[in-house]
Amino acid sequence: MNKKIVYAFSLRKKEGIFFLLALLGIWTLVSTRFSFAADYLFPTPKAVAVSLWENLPELLEGTLSSFLILVPAFFSAILVGIVLGIIAGTTPWVNRLLGPFSRFAAQIPTTIYIPYAIALLPGFESAAGFVIFIGAFWPIFLNTTTGASNVPAHFRENARTLELNWFEYRAKIVLPSALPHIFSGLGISLVFSFILLTVAELFGASSGLGRFVQLSADYAEYTRMVAGILYVGVVVFLCSAFLDFLKHRILFWKKL
Amino acid sequence: MISDETNPGSETRISLENVSFSYGEKSVLRNINLHIKNGEFVSLLGASGSGKTTLLRIIAGLENPSSGTATDAGHAITAPSLQRSFVFQNYSLFPWLSLRENIALAIKKAHPELKRARRLVLARRHLELVGLADSVKKYPFELSGGMQQRGAIARALALGAPVLLMDEPFGALDPVNRSRLQDLLLSVWRNTENQRKTVVFVTHDVDEAILLSDRVVMLGSSPAGIIDEIQIDLPRPRSRRILTESNEFRHLREHVQNRFRTEVSRALGGIVTGDGDAI
Ligand SMILES: Nc1ncnc2c1ncn2[C@@H]1O[C@H](COP(=O)(O)OP(=O)(O)OP(=O)(O)O)[C@@H](O)[C@H]1O
Ligand SMILES: [Mg+2]
């Protein structure tokens, strides 16, 4: 396998894989030998795997409907966050203007907006999209601002001696120089987005991954629910791993 | 004054008048008066910390003097300009651009009329000049310090600026590359079609200063002023071998070295005596 991919999936360490297998073993053992919880509450790995397989079409459909909300919200948060972050990080008065507000607003747990957003905005999709946008925006914006305001002096001076104009300086010097910070923001935002997505879906979705889990709980189908949870875990993991892969590709010059 | 092939023109290009500079409370340069003629090659010598880099940064426009004036061709220097290209003491290529892209970016700014393909060709040509033909697509992290420094020199030459400001450009190079690049610098300096470049060159190496320069300017210890200026009237082109055997060169070297040594020991507060014994 490609070295970068191996790294992104953190499969380089045998210990990690061993630990996962051990967990699976313990789960099997606990769910088959001891029954401190009712069977239907604590299903065996096998039952979960079967349920995962049976529900795969529905889960894939749920993924699609979730991603139709998540992807536009997440990507517009990236775009707006990076652009505003670079402007704020390189323009002292903008930074002073936005500083107090963003420090305040970024602290508000975004989940708290969900009911209000649902009440305020037409349709569940726009409400969930809006909330994900807000939640993903702050980490990207704040990290980009930090990166953009900490461009090392020798790069800045170098750019000045080349007489780079406003746009060139930001696009060719500030952006690449801030990329390591931007990627840490992206990592946080990605996880936030999934949290917000699934929580929002618990509130009012008619389809989607969070909705799948919620429905299973409503009908007390816990095997199906555990399958759903694991599935969501795998999806988030794959997205994070992909982001990590991109990061190693794009920041190759950092010798990570 | 007769201006022949080996002598610089007579108009002043860079002019520093009563320039003083301090970093906050710390006074670094005091009352510098320095006039550099068009096409002149001037070396700056001085102990570590004497303010050579600071002086060069003022000429570049990266720093503004605390008092006094700095002018380039009669215009006050207030900001960096493509007219004066700077080779930084520490390698200063952008790490996210390949060697070739680094040079091409500079060419794009200096010659916005050129097409991209043409810029890349020119970039490659300048990298070949400094002996980096095999590394055009490499990134700075894949290169040794000396190779990065050569890349930075290639970029400065590619800019084609009339004024070259170089801060210990050859400090990180092995002797072979060092003399190759000295020759390259001299040939670029001499062969500029219309007007010879004006070079301000910071070095710690006395031989290098004498070999390259029309004039060696020595800075005293901080807060520094100019303590000596030595005109180097050795005929050009100068051959290293003939030069080192000539009496004239030996006298110059001795003079500069003595001056340098007393200055360095004064800078160290008399801790080192003339013959280098620690007290
Ligand atoms: N950004 C800065 N802030 C405060 N003091 C500085 C700064 N840069 C340089 N100095 C001080 O100014 C003095 C001159 O520094 P400068 O870098 O010009 O010396 P230099 O002659 O180039 O030395 P070297 O040969 O070691 O490169 C030094 O004493 C240094 O400590
Ligand atoms: Mg210096």
pLDDT for A49-83, tens place per residue? Answer: 888 899 899 889 889 989 999 999 999 999 999 99
Query: Structure tokens of A25?
Result: 């073993």
Residue located via tokens 């529905």:
A58
Instruction: State how far residue A163 is from chain B, nearest Cα, in angstroms.
Output: 6
DSSP assignments along B43-72, one per residue:
EEEE-TTSSHHHHHHHHHTSS--SEEEEEE
Q: pLDDT tens, B109-139?
A: 999 999 999 999 999 999 998 999 999 999 9
Place A7 in a pLDDT band, splitting at 50, 70 and 90. low
Secondary structure, 3-state, A227-240: HHHHHHHHHHHHHH
The more confident residue out of A30 and A251 is A251
Report whether residue B222 contacts ligand 1, using a CB cutoff of 6 Å. Answer: yes
Report whether residue B26 contacts ligand 1, using a CB cutoff of 6 Å. Answer: yes
Contact A161 B84 (CB under 8 A): yes
Ligand 1 atom, smallest distance to B54 CA: 18
- Nearest residue by C-alpha to atom 6 in ligand 1: B23
* A229 interfacial to chain B (CB closer than 8 Å): no
- Which residue type, as a one-letter code, is found at position A76? S
Other CB atoms within 10 Å distance of the CB of residue A229: 16
Contact A161 B60 (CB under 8 A): yes
Contact A163 B85 (CB under 8 A): no
Residue located via tokens 């909705």:
A211
Other CB atoms within 10 Å distance of the CB of residue B109: 17
> Residue A163: which of B82, B92, B140 has the nearest Cβ?
B82
* Residues A209 and A232: beta-carbon distance below 8 Å: yes
Q: How far is the CA of A184 from the centre of ligand 2 (A)?
A: 35
Q: pLDDT tens, B21-57?
A: 999 889 999 999 999 999 999 999 988 888 999 999 9
Whole-number Å distance between alpha carbons of B244 and B242: 6
The mean pLDDT value for A104-116 works out to 88
Relative to the alpha carbon of B22, which ligand is closest?
1
Q: Any residues with CB less than 8 A from the CB of A121 and at least 6 apart, and which?
A: A127, A130
Relative to the alpha carbon of B51, which ligand is closest?
1
* Residues B85 and B79: beta-carbon distance below 8 Å: no
Query: Structure tokens of B92?
Result: 């200063």
What residues of B are in contact with residue A179 (Cβ under 8 Å)? Answer: 96
Q: pLDDT tens, A165-183?
A: 999 999 999 999 999 999 9
pLDDT at B5: 44
> Residue B88: which of A154, A179, A252 has the nearest Cβ?
A154
Other CB atoms within 10 Å distance of the CB of residue B108: 17
Contact B80 A255 (CB under 8 A): no
Q: pLDDT tens, B58-93?
A: 999 999 999 999 999 989 999 999 999 999 988 789
**What is the H or E stretch that residue B31 is in?**
strand B26-37
Q: CA gyration radius for chain B?
A: 19
Other CB atoms within 10 Å distance of the CB of residue B268: 13
The mean pLDDT value for A128-154 works out to 94
Contact B92 A154 (CB under 8 A): yes
DSSP 3-state percent helix, strand, coil across chain B (nearest 5)? 40, 25, 40
Report whether residue B54 contacts ligand 1, using a CB cutoff of 6 Å. Answer: yes
Q: What angle do CA B145, B151, B157 make, to 5 degrees?
A: 140
- Nearest residue by C-alpha to atom 26 in ligand 1: B48
Q: How far is the CA of B137 from the centre of ligand 2 (A)?
A: 30
What residues of A are in contact with residue B139 (Cβ under 8 Å)? Answer: 252-253
Beta strand B67-72 pairing with B12-23: antiparallel
Q: pLDDT tens, A186-211?
A: 999 999 999 999 888 887 777 888 88
Instruction: State how far residue A253 is from chain B, nearest Cα, in angstroms.
Output: 6
Residue located via tokens 């966050």:
A81
Contact B84 A252 (CB under 8 A): no
* Residues B71 and B231: beta-carbon distance below 8 Å: no
